[in-house]
Amino acid sequence: MLALQGDFREHLSVLAGLGADAVPVRRPEDLARVDGLVIPGGESSVMDKLSRLFGLADPLREAVASGLPVYGTCAGLIMLSDRVLDSISGQQTLGGFDVTVRRNAFGSQLDSFETDLDVPALGDVPVHAVFIRAPVVESVGDDVTVLSALDDGRIVAVEQGNLLGTSFHPEITGETRFHEYFLDKVRARS
C-alpha cells in the first residue's frame, strides 16, 4: 500500500478485511517486500513530488515494469498513466498503463458525485462508485481492457496485464470486489 499521501488507511482496512497482509510502503525497502501495491486516491501532483523526494519514483517504475500487480484509485490511476492531461507544470507519473487520463475531468460544477456502474467482470450487481475530483480515461491503447464506463461512454475502470485502475473510490463505500479482483492477480503471480 503506497502510503505517501492520500486515503491509504481506508485501503489498508479493506485489504486487511479480505485477509491480506497489507503494509504501508514509504521507502524502497518497503516496496521490495510486497507482492502487490495499491496506490490510493489523494493528490497526484503531491504524490509525484513525494515519491521523487523519497527516492521511490524509480523503484516504483521498475516494479511496474517488472510486472508487480498494482491497483491505482483516482490519483493512483493518474500516477500509473502514461499520459496525463491537465497536469500541473512539471508533474510526472510512473506510467505503465497505456492510457491518457484527464485530471479533475468533471470540472468544478460537479466535483464529486456518486453513481451505480455496471462492471461485468465483477458480476451482475452494479458497483456503487464515489467520484471525488476524479479523472477520466480519455483514450486507451490496444492492450487495455475497459472494465467500466459511465452512461455517456467516459471510461472509469481499466485493466492492462497486472495493472488495475479506477477513477473512483471503492475503498470508501464498503465495496470490496475490486480489491478481491486485485488480490487474485497478486496471488496468481506470487
* Residues engaged in binding ligand GLN (CB under 6 A): 41-44, 74-75, 78, 103-104, 132-133
Q: How big is the CA angle at 102 (ends 86 and 82), to the nearest 5 degrees?
A: 95
Does residue 43 carry a catalytic annotation? no
Does residue 11 carry a catalytic annotation? no
Q: Which residue has the cell 497536469?
A: 87
Q: Name the minimum Å distance from CB 107 to ligand GLN.
A: 11
Asked if 38 and 181 count as a contact pair (C-beta separation under 8 A), the reply is no
Does residue 171 carry a catalytic annotation? yes
From 11, 159, 171, 179, the catalytic residue: 171
Residues in the chain: 190
From 74, 159, 175, 179, the catalytic residue: 74
Round to whole Å and give the CA distance between 38 and 52: 18
Round to whole Å and give the CA distance between 133 and 114: 12
Round to whole Å and give the CA distance between 151 and 155: 9
From 11, 43, 114, 169, the catalytic residue: 169
| Nearest to ligand GLN of 6, 69 (CB atom) | 6
Q: Name the minimum Å distance from CB 128 to ligand GLN.
A: 16
Q: Name the minimum Å distance from CB 112 to ligand GLN.
A: 8
| Nearest to ligand GLN of 48, 98 (CB atom) | 48
Q: Name the minimum Å distance from CB 15 to ligand GLN.
A: 18
Biggest CA-to-CA distance, the chain: 44
Active site residues: 74, 169, 171
